[in-house]
Amino acid sequence: MSESVSTPRVRFAPSPTGYLHVGGARTALFNWLYARHFGGTLILRIEDTDFERSSEEMVEGILEGMRWLGLNWDEGPFYQSKRLELYRQTAEKLLASGHAYYCFCTREELEQRRAAAVAAGRPPMYDRRCRRIEKDIAAQRKAAGEACALRFAVPEGGATSFEDAVFGKVEFSNAEIEDFVLLRSDGIPTYHLSVVADDIDMRLTHIIRGADHISNTPKQVLQYRALGVQLPVFAHVPLILGPDKTRLSKRHGATSVIAYKEFGIVPEAFRNFLSLLGWTPGAAGKDADGKDREIFGSDELIRLFSLDGISKSNAVFDNDKLAWFNTEYIRAYDAQKLLPLIEEEWAKAGFTPDRSQDEVLAAINLVKPRARNLKDFAIAFRAYFIDSFEYDPAAVAKFLKDDFVRALLVELAARYESTAEFTEASTEQVLREFAEEKGVKAGALINGSRVALTGQAVAPSLFAVMVNLGKNRVVKRLAAANNVGTV
Ligand code: GLU
């Protein structure tokens, strides 16, 4: 009873054998949302007992991914590699209570028997032969220095079940559960032991993790029962698939979270997108017409999140959808809020704007409806922020290769220089009058000016661009039209 009234303690427990991938990030996010919803505690635990495959670099990558997504944790990071004593003690308890036994079978013997079982069409499970060794004898053999692992003694009949918050009652026949290894002969715990020892020691109340762990859960449940500890609530989250409905992998595109940062995705957009992979906010997430809403800021996600909304069916990772979320967030953020994210892109591109803060903010507002990602502000929109920019060769070829148009733009520069007023209306009037006077279509001058001013063939309204850039820049860039792309 006390569990339900106390605030939840949840954890994200990545193995640092790879970067933070999309599925891991979604698990971290759900744990974070759950903890924040209830004012609970999120623990970060690094499951690094696979010494060969784990690395500090991967840990850093995981932490970087979590920070980028804004998933702050309250306790940790705890490293399992520094907690081996706890696992040894837990193993001792299981041994002492008769729930575990020493296994002296060598790796070669096990492999041979496994191969023989497969050849005979039997399941390749450990045949439990060391379970029959007298306890005292086994202790003596161990004391004499014989190498041994410690295995859990799975009950021989019956079934092991648990109530999953997502999948309901999940039951495995004990006959299907091998006497799994707890401690290897080198004293290193397996995942099954360390996860249970830690989840108990850290007083976790809810285990929210990927559905790929469902088959591990009975082995953990058996240990809880053997140790006489109340089960936490298990909530297994459905898998994330690619658009072809196979498990999300590199074939479908980037799977590392940091890659999405590199693509210029707004972290909050990614968080919103991830949150809906396997979770729906139910009635609270509908708009006035009863249609499902999709944009949920982080505060709203925290308020709406519940385990009830997690779906049993697998989720599909759709890159187009992510792109949509990203543009929605860029549009919805005001320039001030976008600025720090854009500044990172400028730093990566190696420049800082040579314009005043107000001009920069106005330029961000001007171009953001056209942004697909944050990188655009440093690449496609560079000319709005700094005088040194490149001209898109295709845009030049299309609108600025005609010498006649170039010469007219140079003349137009002089017109602007001599006009006092520089508003959208006045700049437009000057251009149109000039076109008429020269007997050319205004469109040709508008297109040519756009390329000369921004380096791009598409841009917001040209006259709004002119006002944003200001008279001096406009005059300078139009006057330089003759030199564009001619070097
Ligand atoms: N370390 C495990 C993994 O990265 C997670 C263990 C768990 O959540 O129980 O898959």
Average pLDDT over residues 223-241: 97
Counting atoms of ligand 1 from 1, which one is nearest the CA of 11? 8
Fill in the amino acid letter for 62. I
Over residues 175-216, the pLDDT tens digits come to: 999 999 999 999 999 999 999 999 999 999 999 999 999 999
pLDDT, position 251: 83
> Which of 3.90.78.10, 3.80.30.20, 1.25.60.10, 3.90.800.10 is the CATH number of 85-183?
3.90.800.10
How many other C-beta atoms lie within 10 A of the C-beta of residue 135?
A: 11
pLDDT of residue 200: 98
**Structure confidence at residue 5 as a pLDDT band (50, 70, 90):** low
**Site to substitute for ligand 1 among 12, 15, 53, most atoms within 8 A of C-beta:** 15
d(CA 477, CA 60): 45
% of the chain beyond a pLDDT of 70: 99
Strand order in the sheet with 100-103: 100-103, 149-152, 181-183
Domains 1-80+238-332 and 85-183 share a fold: no
Distance between CA 217 and CA 165 in Å, rounded?
A: 13
Please report the DSSP string for 93-107 in residue order. HHHHTTSEEEE---H
Percent of the chain residues topping a pLDDT of 90: 90
Q: Which residue in this structure is represented by tokens 């109530």?
A: 163
**Which pLDDT score, from 0 to 100, does residue 1 have?**
38
Alpha helix ranges (H) inside 350-423: 357-367, 393-399, 403-417
Residue 303 has pLDDT above 80, yes or no: yes
Indicate if the pLDDT at residue 166 is higher than 90.
yes
Mean pLDDT rounded to a whole number for the chain? 95
CB 442, CB 450: distance < 8 Å? no
Per-residue pLDDT tens digits for 468-487: 999 999 999 999 999 887 54
Phi first, then psi, for residue 29 (nearest 5°) are: -60, -45
CA–CA distance from 457 to each of 59, 264, 310 (Å)? 44, 22, 45
Could you state, in order of their start, the residue ranges of all structural domains in the chain? 1-80+238-332, 85-183, 333-384, 393-483
Write down the pLDDT at residue 298. 93
> How much is the pLDDT for 357?
97
Q: How many residues does the chain have?
A: 487
Q: Nearest-CA neighbor of 338 among 274, 263, 268, 260?
A: 268
Strand partners, 164: 168, 234
What's the pLDDT at 3?
Answer: 42
399-426 pLDDT per residue, tens: 999 999 999 999 999 999 999 999 999 9
Contact status, residue 416 vs residue 475, Cβ threshold 8 Å: yes
pLDDT band, very low/low/confident/very high, at 2 (cuts 50, 70, 90):
very low
User: Which residues does the annotation mark as catalytic?
Assistant: 250
For ligand 1, mutation pick of 9, 20, 59, 191 (most atoms within 8 Å of CB): 191
Window from 59-63, 413-417, 441-445, 481-485 with minimum mean pLDDT: 481-485
Q: CATH classification of 393-483, choosing from 1.10.760.10, 1.10.10.350, 1.10.357.10, 3.40.50.460? A: 1.10.10.350
- Judge whether residue 4 has pLDDT over 60: no
Class of domain 1-80+238-332: alpha beta
- Cα 337 to Cα 37, 69, 365: the distances in Å are 24, 16, 11
> Phi-psi region for residue 133, left (φ > 0), alpha (ψ -120 to 50) or beta?
beta
**Local structure of 365: helix, strand or coil:** helix
CA of 13 to the centre of ligand 1 (A): 5
Strands (E), 202-337: 206-210, 233-237, 240-241, 315-316
pLDDT at 486: 54
